[in-house]
């Protein structure tokens, strides 16, 4: 019976590892996108302030 469970674990292990890598990769991509959007919005707000323009129309909803 022990060999059966060892075979089950060894057959499921690659799937679990690939799933873990996929989740990590997807989480990293989403986190980078969120950070990039935040930085872009900050730069855009600074540039609008330099030009004496008011906040962009979507700024109130973003905060």
Residue 29 domain-assigned (yes or no)? yes
Contact at 8 Å (CB) between 62 and 41? Answer: yes
Residue ranges making up the domain that contains 34: 19-47
User: How many structural domains compose the chain?
Assistant: 1
36-52, pLDDT tens digit by residue? Answer: 999 999 999 999 999 98
Residue 33 domain-assigned (yes or no)? yes
Where does the pLDDT of residue 2 fall: very low under 50, low under 70, confident under 90, or very high at 90 and above?
Answer: confident
Say if residue 24's pLDDT is above 70. yes
Residue 63 domain-assigned (yes or no)? no
Residue 25 domain-assigned (yes or no)? yes
Residue 54 domain-assigned (yes or no)? no
Residue 14 domain-assigned (yes or no)? no
- DSSP label at residue 57: T
Is pTM beyond 0.75? Reply is: no
- Neighbouring residues of 62: CB distance < 8 A, sequence distance ≥ 6: 41
Grouping H, G, I as helix, E, B as strand and the rest as coil, residue 51 is coil
Question: Apex CA 39: angle with CA 23 and CA 60, to 5°?
Answer: 105
């Amino acid at each position: 019976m022990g060999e059966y469970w060892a075979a089950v674990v060894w057959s499921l292990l690659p799937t679990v590892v690939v799933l873990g890598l996929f989740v990590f990769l997807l989480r990293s991509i989403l986190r980078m996108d969120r950070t990039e959007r935040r930085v872009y919005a900050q730069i855009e707000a600074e540039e609008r302030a330099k030009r004496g323009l008011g906040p962009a129309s979507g700024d109130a909803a973003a905060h």
